[in-house]
Amino acid sequence: MDIRFQTGGPSAWKAEAVLTFVFEGEGPDEACHVLEQAAPWLGIAPAWRDFKGKKRELATLYGPPAMDIPRVQAVGLGRREALTAVDLRYAVGGAVRLCREQGAADVGIDLASLGRVAPVLDRDLAALAREVVLAALLGLYRYDRWLSDRAELPADPARLFLLVDDEFAPDAVRDAVRLGEAEAAGLRLARDLANGPANVVTPTAFAEAARAVAERGGMKFRALGPAELEAERMGAFLAVARGARQEPRLVVLEYIPEGTESEQPVVLVGKGVTFDSGGISIKPSAGMAEMKGDMSGAAAVLGVFEALAQLAPHRRPSRPVLGLMPCTENMPGGNATRPGDIVIARSGASIEITNTDAEGRLILADALDYGQDGREPALLVDIATLTGACVVALGKDAAGLFCDDDALAAALFETGKRLGERSWRLPIWDTSKEAMKSNVADMLNSGPREGGALHAAWFLKQFVKPGTPWAHLDIAATDNTESPINAKGASGFGVRTLLEMVW
């Protein structure tokens, strides 16, 4: 979608459909006094009679077809005092979907109307412009690659106009819109990868997607195959890959903006199990098709790099960013790792395998160790669809946040809350050491069901050097959802939060 500003005030505005924001109980004189100058018919449109402005309520207001603005979508925000940023995103996502269904070739957003919302949410216009652009692009997202009749689906609007009641759009607003576009590009890529079938999104295919991102963004790219993983002593990672015919890849992206070469990096690690059958400890068949999305953590990390590529050269991180995405299938087979096997991680730790379906922590363990080798990360974050126990603990509305650093935990929590990626902090207790104790190795790879998410986080902590600022995000509950800004399927959860942490 082509996003442009229309400046010069209402007399210069043109669009097939325009979104205007209305609080519950408001009429056109209160909500649309600027837009009415461009669409003088607006105040007498019959649809106002039944429109209440309730949350997510939409009304299509029609004017004379020959007008520069022949159609307005009144977007209900509900009660002013109850409005949240999530409400605004959902309202915009639903409205642009309706515009698509109605065949609008271009859609405008009335920034004067949006400006009335800013003080209610305690945000400036630039911040809200970022959110509505993001919401519009995500609302239009759909994964239709494999539909034979997709040419018959309603076409997305070709243009999004931001209507400015002035001669110029402020630089801060333009920068914020660029950021919203980049975030949406990262999220859409992450969704495409996680929605993709496992026979297409293989570890090697994921690596090629990462190569394309690196080429767009001027980044360093490597993809370590089996021989290189052996040379790196990644015994835990390779133990997961043994049963699969698809070769594993450790995908490595490094973005080093000019002038940051001497800075310590931010290291992002994402779990990339492109299909998880459970291995020898095989999963039940019900729901197994969803295990194509067990690489959502890796997809989120790659989404961050896509956003960075989109933003360059306008905006760059203040330090290098290293992305590590260990990608493999977890399959049964004659060569697969068995319960009772002992494997040696890259760190030298021995691990007794008691459950081959606790595989994500194994590939993350080696990637975490690799990310700290010869480096002292300014920040180390891993993100993974790691445990069903986290879903049981928190439900489907929040990721599990594990972090021993109070300041870092607070930063991740508040950032996610502001950007629509909610998390909730859970503890890492030393009692997990006893639960994960092995009689024949340094530790087990899986402990008791009770507190399973906590035990998994404790396991990962064993591969983080003391003093390293580290956090673990368990996104098993939030990787797949449905909302007005998320067509049913992969969510791309984590892209926005992680991107915010690299600045």
Q: Which residues are annotated as part of the binding site? A: 271, 276, 294, 357, 359
Q: Which DSSP category does 51 fall into?
A: -
Backbone angles phi, psi at 207, to 5 degrees: -60, -40
SS3 88: helix
Catalytic-labelled residue, pool 55, 174, 222, 283: 283
Q: Which residues of 48-84 are buried (b: 16+ CB within 10 A; e: fewer)?
A: beebebebebbbbbebeeeeebbbbbbbbbbeeeebe
Q: Which DSSP category does 149 fall into?
A: T
SS (H, E, C) 220-275: EEEEECHHHHHHCCCHHHHHHHCCCCCCCEEEEEEECCCCCCCCCCEEEEECEEEE
Active site (annotated) includes residue 174 = no
Q: Measured between alpha carbons, how far is residue 379 from residues 36, 42, 328 in Å?
A: 50, 52, 25
Catalytic-labelled residue, pool 116, 346, 361, 496: 361
Backbone angles phi, psi at 83, to 5 degrees: -65, 140
Q: Which DSSP category does 284 fall into?
A: P
The angle formed by the CA atoms of residues 319, 320 and 322, to the nearest 5 degrees, is: 140
What separation, in Å, do the N-terminal and C-terminal C-alpha atoms of the chain show?
A: 26
Say if residues 174 and 5 touch (Cβ distance below 8 Å).
yes
Q: Cα 134 to the chain's mean position, in Å?
A: 12
Backbone angles phi, psi at 399, to 5 degrees: -85, 155
Count of residues in the chain:
503
d(CA 293, CA 384): 11
Summarize the annotated binding site for Mn(2+) as residue ranges. 271, 276, 294, 357, 359
6 bridge partner residues: 163
Say if residues 294 and 477 touch (Cβ distance below 8 Å).
no
d(CA 484, CA 359): 33
- Report the catalytic residues: 283, 361
